[in-house]
Amino acid sequence: MSKLKLEGKELRAVGFPEGPVISVAMQVMEKHYKHRTKDEVFSVLKEILESPQDYTADEILGPIAKQLLPKEPAEGAEISLNQTGIPFNVFGQEHIEEGAMHQMYQAAKLPISVAGALMPDAHSGYGLPIGGVLATDNAVIPYGVGVDIGCRMCLSVFDIDPKELTQRDTFFARELGEATLFGSGAQFKQASDHEVMEHELFYQLPLLKNLHGRAWKQLGSSGSGNHFAEFGVIEIKEQDPVLGIEAGNYVGFLTHSGSRALGASIANHYTKLAISKRRLPQEAKNLAWLSLEEEAGVEYWNAMNLAGDYASACHHIIHGKIAKQLGRKPMKMVENHHNFAWKETWEGREVIVHRKGATPAGKDVLGIIPGSMTAPGFIVKGKGETASVNSASHGAGRKMSRTRAMQTVTDKQMKDELNKHAVKLMGGGLDESPFAYKNIEVVMQSQHALVDIAGKFIPKIVKMDGAQHKSWRSKKEEVTGE
């Protein structure tokens, strides 16, 4: 029997009002009644519609019924934090700034918090610290996910002799420059085509409907800040059964970027909504959450997942262009994302796991943890360590703010460091210099219990947004990695 698939117009036809109740009903019925006929499903839905008060206590159908009842006015009382927060593990604590630790302690005191961990690349952010992992009870925190929803790493491994990166560096640099656009507002004149742009949410949610045109023009672009696209050498010392690549050296193409203006708009809209609904103490204001039983929570959850799919599509478009120009299909593609929330099982119960600047590291899950424009990155395989809530770092992590890096690092230091590692940089400013980042080797040592290293990526030709390099000191400082 085929799985149940409902359409919004069908629910409207039987009397469901316009609004979030339609998406809630579709989600509940397609999950819990997926093998029932449509006649059976609509018989149940009509009963809920007629007497929603009779179903509010129902474990499965309650969320639909509650959407149909009049909303009670908010009392406006401030929500208190727990005096003692949940315990959480910290990896590489001696290298983590106090601000990030304080933010994690705040998150641990939320009444919805279930489990947490702090990764060795952690530093301060908005709400949850970057490098923070937090499992919650049926609630999602927009700033626990971050502004750049679904930010991803994507690696294509090509069976090409790495010597070509030196012998044909002009060719590789040209292809790198043409494969994507950098810059916070960058848009293509001719939009790429991808099925993600036909997602029904773009036509159902007013917020997304207004973002559709711009999102399409930014499809396949890479943004600014710490985002990059680069060619490098892949070193595989011994074949890993999960990675499945024989020992040897290969050419790798690695990208790091997220959901562009689409994700940022979703994050900001629903964060404001969460703050208006949940009055928290001022120091915890940005940790406001949305319940997955309320319409705003369901809307955010669906929009967040769409932004994650959009970010993935951006990478696949870029990698497709590179593969076409190289005339090769990749031997292997490895990808993972951070700045996201997942439904996972924790000690026998379903929880929402936020990984803000943290890599999923469940048992045998592959991922990429980059260093800097001159430091190596690593292909990793998760060990499924519960102490870290099945997570690892998403990179080396910053040790200098953007402002401090631009004030203390000189052009000569930057040039010497690039020459030392034989890296060709296209764009990229002092704010992203290698000196602004922690030592990736130390970070990896701090999480040896969380991941196994399956391979290494050594950057050789790096492309980043070059806008800041033109006027370093006049650029307003940004917090990156969110």
Q: What is the pLDDT of residue 47?
A: 85
Distance CA 475, CA 477 (A): 6
pLDDT tens for 439-448 read 999 999 999 9
The token pair at 381 is 């395989």
Q: Among residues 120, 131, 132, 153, which one has the least CA distance to residue 443?
A: 120
- State the pTM of this model: 0.81
Q: Among residues 120, 154, 122, 98, which one has the least CA distance to residue 441?
A: 120
Distance CA 139, CA 437 (A): 33
Q: List, as one string, the DSSP characters of 9-46.
A: HHHHHTTPPSSHHHHHHHHHHHHHSTTS-HHHHHHHHH
- 199: how many CB neighbours lie within 10 A of its CB? 16
Q: What is the pLDDT of residue 76?
A: 56
- CB-CB contact of 155 with 379 (8 Å): yes
Q: What is the pLDDT of residue 2?
A: 72
Helix ranges restricted to H, 59-128: 62-68, 98-108
Distance CA 310, CA 316 (A): 10
Q: What is the pLDDT of residue 258?
A: 95
- CB-CB contact of 420 with 374 (8 Å): yes
Question: How many separate helices (H) and strands (E) can be counted in the chain?
Answer: 16, 17
Residues in the chain, pLDDT under 70: 1, 70-77, 467-482
Q: List, as one string, the DSSP characters of 309-327.
A: HHHHHHHHHHHHHHHHHHT
Domains and CATH numbers, the chain: 8-68 (no CATH), 152-474 (3.90.1860.10)
Helix ranges restricted to H, 54-205: 62-68, 98-108, 142-145, 164-167, 169-179, 201-204
- On the 0-12 / 13-18 / 19+ scale of CB atoms within 10 A, 148 is buried
